[in-house]
A and B are shown apart, each in its own frame.
Chain A
């Protein structure tokens, strides 16, 4: 299977001579089409920096990132905007919906940015909304929606342009457990039914257990890789917890 995303030997340094922080330290991996990949790590491990580099919001210090075979680390800013709007979809922790726009318009905005003809917009939005179970709330404004609904609207916005890759940064971070479950089921829908490739950053084991494969990052390096294979979600979850403990995750240093 061809890789959608190929990250090879990237590094990201902050600071200057004398005081260098290696946020990302020589990471390489690839994501294949149709995969749902998670990146886990504690706060400050470099996972968000990695995601920012992939999403072209930040630049790498060295190394290369290929999306669909194109090297994005050498692109100019104009090409980058075009690349972002055509190849990437985003889901953020804090939803990032525009509060002045209705849910429908928030989803449609992603289409108007890539200059989709007006006639196609309505059908596309309705199709995705139906798949994610948000058809009923399209006319509402973000302030009228619950967190889970907002995040599903954000998912719809991410998928509607049929990007090669959806990047999700702590998508369940601001949700209660029920909403989180519903959202993750939406991710599975996107992944299965709409054949979306998803790369998700999280520090939550429950969220991660929905992935096919998980990369663990510590101090800017890949520390471990877990593949779900034929495990049930429960089995996979237990494996994740054991790695997290090994990794010195959230609780290990407390006692």
Chain B
């Protein structure tokens, strides 16, 4: 009997709050999909380099999932409390009929169990299929062939999902049992006769709060855009100001809004407008905290989405300019100088005996030398007037003009020319470039000669293959300026004869073997004390790795935040609509036709959904301005605009979808019951 009652109740709430259950199912599905990444088919055919990335991704998602489970747990507990509130009268009737609290708790436990099994079952089923889709996407990113399709199932992700959501539902059950034991019959029965203690706030309080909130925003925006990078404390201040401002904004909004609209009598006294605005303002009045929180969460969502996707995109773009050569081998000479000076000066090819490999594999190659200890950043104060003090003592690399031009020619670019006593600066780091003030004049001294800045702009070249754009400043001087100095490092840049990845792998291995064979030989003179090599393939893989990790996590967090926000908004509106059936019936009796009523409902839900979103968008615009500095670390070339458009697209689909579903749900609820 109790079981029957529970099933009946679940079926009824499924109908009325379908959006909530869909969200729950969606949450379970997302949780499974992202946690099953390591066992997806695409991952089983990865090379070791890629496997490392996936391991990193898996553990990152593991940690993120704990956080995510808190968010989803909050959603479930909040919604459950919300639904319980609506059911007070029903519970009161059970009690009135003589059911004891233990039995009522048991009914609720059975209900929670049913809902849990229902959402977990469907969510996991959908998740298992969706993970095959994600697998295909990952395969696309790693450019893998998935012709032999294989259905995969991750047992660990399955158990993990069961465990996490099991705990969430257990908490809900405990929560319900506790709240039932606290309920008094009289309050339950009178719950529907809620004396709407509709507080009308003093308009001056609203105005004051509104002014303070605007001041908070102004201060936070100003600080974060001008001084946000200087210290964590300032950033924290901005965040606190933003949060306080947002809450105060929604606290004061209903009063202000109503005042403004009421002043426009033509608008206010038109159709059902009066009703709509009053409804909204009373709703914001009571729910300003949750609206504020939703606004902040939407802000986090949008910044995560756009910054995450931008970083991913930027990092895959940066790889093109970061790896101009198939292989770059760098050798560092001994730092004490004794042996280096006694030994014959050699370049990499000679030092490691690589001529044979070069003849076999290289279409073209160029060898360059760097002088690392001649100049410091503090030697060009006019060009770097406000470089942070910590960086002032760091050395700048020096390269000869002829080496520099060799590099340019090998990359198919025009060589540069400098006067006899002139120098130029190369820098490809987008983060550091803004620090250079190239319009100033500057002289440096080398070999007792003075050299003037010859080219008043930054040269933006990549001199050898590297993992990201990290050249913070290289000074180019005429060859004569360097006579008498010993280079600290040599770099051999190689372009292979063929560009396919199998050939590249073979060639890279040949060079690698050549070097290690030479190093192990007895007669190796150790002119180059240590060496490193960077190949294009490796750079690609690692950058793809960064893109994948960052974008997957951004999408994971973003989606969960987003569905949590919209689910809460939808739930509040649906509950509101079921409370309001009386009001809508009254409007109908007063002769408002269905069109007017639907319009009122639509406007009301639209404004309610739009408010937190609009403020969040304003926050996001500022947040993106700020975070674009981080994105530039990973390379430029991407306009954050395109990524914002992608974000806007995702937001539009999810937010719009929930909005429409809510509207249709509410419309169904207020439809007059036919006899």
Contact = CB atoms under 8 A, between A and B. Distances in A.
Instruction: Please determine whether chains A and B interact with each other in the same assembly.
Output: yes
Interface of A: 14, 55, 57-58, 77-78, 81-86, 88, 90, 96, 98-101, 105, 108-115, 118, 121, 141, 143, 157
B269 A81 contact: no
Interface string B255-298: 00000000001100111111100110110000000000000000
B166 to A, nearest CB: 42
Given A101-B274, A143-B197, A113 B590 contact: yes
Q: Which one of A96, A109, A111, A121 has the highest number of Cβ atoms from chain B below 10 Å of its Cβ?
A: A109
B589 interface: yes
B675 A58 contact: yes
Contact of B195 (A58, A90, A143): A143
B596 A112 contact: no
Interface string B566-601: 000000000000000011001111111110100000
B591 A141 contact: no
A118 B583 CA distance: 23
Nearest to A57: B589
B198 A84 contact: no
B155 interface: no
Nearest to B274: A105
A114 B592 CA distance: 8
B148 interface: no
A118 B269 contact: yes
- The size class of the interface chain B forms with chain A is 20 to 34
B186 interface: no
Contacts of A57: 589
B200 interface: yes
B143 interface: no
A209 B582 CA distance: 31
Contacts of A105: 274, 278
A113 B596 contact: yes
The interface residues of chain B, by DSSP majority, are classed as helix
A100 B278 contact: yes
A104 B317 CA distance: 64
23 contacts: A14-B675, A55-B589, A58-B675, A78-B593, A81-B594, A83-B591, A84-B591, A98-B275, A99-B198, A100-B282, A105-B278, A109-B275, A109-B590, A112-B269, A112-B270, A112-B274, A113-B272, A114-B591, A115-B271, A118-B265, A143-B196, A143-B197, A143-B198
Contacts of B274: 101, 105, 108-109, 112
Given A100-B282, A113-B596, A82 B591 contact: yes
B275 A101 contact: yes
Nearest to A163: B591
Most buried by B among A108, A113, A115: A113
Contacts of B200: 141
A90 B265 CA distance: 26
B593 A96 contact: no
Contact of A86 (B196, B282, B591, B594): B591
A100 B331 CA distance: 79
Contacts of B675: 14, 58
Nearest to B196: A99
Contacts of B590: 84-85, 90, 109-110, 113, 157
Contact of B591 (A58, A81, A98, A118): A81
Nearest to A121: B269
B265 A113 contact: no
Interface in B178-213: 195-198, 200
